[in-house]
Copies of this chain bind each other. A is one copy, B any other.
């Protein structure tokens, strides 16, 4: 059967809800999205193209944009085109160019869907993309979920070409004399994907004639396995979890009665950003009060329960100003000038006044914070520092920082930052004491 017929069959069977709807097609101008556009044009849908110009390849990027606009014109369909300063966005958000392009593109698509009342976004991912993603995850280490493939349907994003290979798509395009744009960056930007695409996968495909078909079947089987795990976790959830909305309580007793407790803990909690699974697992037998943190959640051992709570943005970002004189809150610091340098203790530091800029700031530490521990040359992550100092989890949670802007001055109760120490040039010495007020 020809691709057009197979494609229509695929739509009828797997995406019948698309027929008659308003559909936005993400169109780069490359082979895959151009073929998707032509295929969709022949169905009874109201389609439009959306093209992102990421300004990453100068004239070539502009050429792609012009091409897509021309394609839309020749097919007499609407087109949306937008130019982004991807490099700037990446720098501002401290993410890779690739991540930036991804964020920009999906955010913009979502806006169009909403503003112009399109029902679905269609992307041109195909079977070879899926195979590449499988291999990418495999090289990095993954689990069942990382091997089940790109979803053919995910919220409002539909991928109707996912069943078809690059080869089939190319052949269809050549037979029909379609024009498309070659993206020169395919050869450059994504080292891993290109290494796989150009060196590993061609050899892999040579091993078996029906390898792509077999791969598709494998992914269906893996998805079926994942579905069973999800069903099982539904039962386990009912059995061991209480609470909801703001916090979940896991009944440790009931959880331990089930086999493969650690795997269950992983399935229950991996959506909440935890990464230190040994710590999570140890919590089951830890003393009441012990905690483990992810970036967004905390897990507290409390008698026979683990209590999962979201760390609210408020909590995590709450900052307090510390004036040079007067009361500090929420913890009690006493700041005074000193004529001499005494012994620095855990709860007492001597510091060079000229290096400070009041008001200082007070907040809890966050993962990602780092400082230059007193007596050391280089910087150290706080998480590493706490680990090396063998500071228990319960205590870690309570640790406050004294800062200038985002620069740590003192890990209160533990260690000051070397950059603020008193030197022979210091004209005014400040003595800061931490007066525990609870």
Contact = CB atoms under 8 A, between A and B. Distances in A.
A58 B214 CA distance: 38
A143 B222 contact: yes
A218 B264 contact: no
A387 interface: no
Nearest to A131: B138
Contacts of A224: 143, 260, 262-263, 266
Interface string A219-233: 001101111110111
Interface in A257-289: 258-260, 262-264, 266-267
A200 interface: yes
B227 A228 contact: no
Contacts of A231: 232, 258-260
Nearest to A214: B141
Given A195-B206, A204-B200, A227 B259 contact: yes
A217 interface: yes
A139 B218 CA distance: 9
A260 B192 contact: no
A263 B214 contact: no
A228 B143 contact: no
A138 B259 contact: no
Most buried by B among A206, A214, A221: A221
A203 interface: yes
Contacts of A203: 195, 199-200, 203
Contacts of A146: 218
A225 B218 contact: no
A207 B192 contact: yes
Given A207-B139, A222-B144, A229 B227 contact: no
Given A143-B218, A144-B221, A232-B235, 13 more contacts: A138-B214, A139-B214, A142-B221, A144-B144, A144-B225, A192-B208, A195-B207, A196-B207, A200-B203, A224-B260, A225-B226, A225-B263, A228-B267
9 contacts: A138-B214, A139-B204, A139-B208, A139-B214, A143-B224, A192-B207, A203-B203, A225-B263, A231-B259
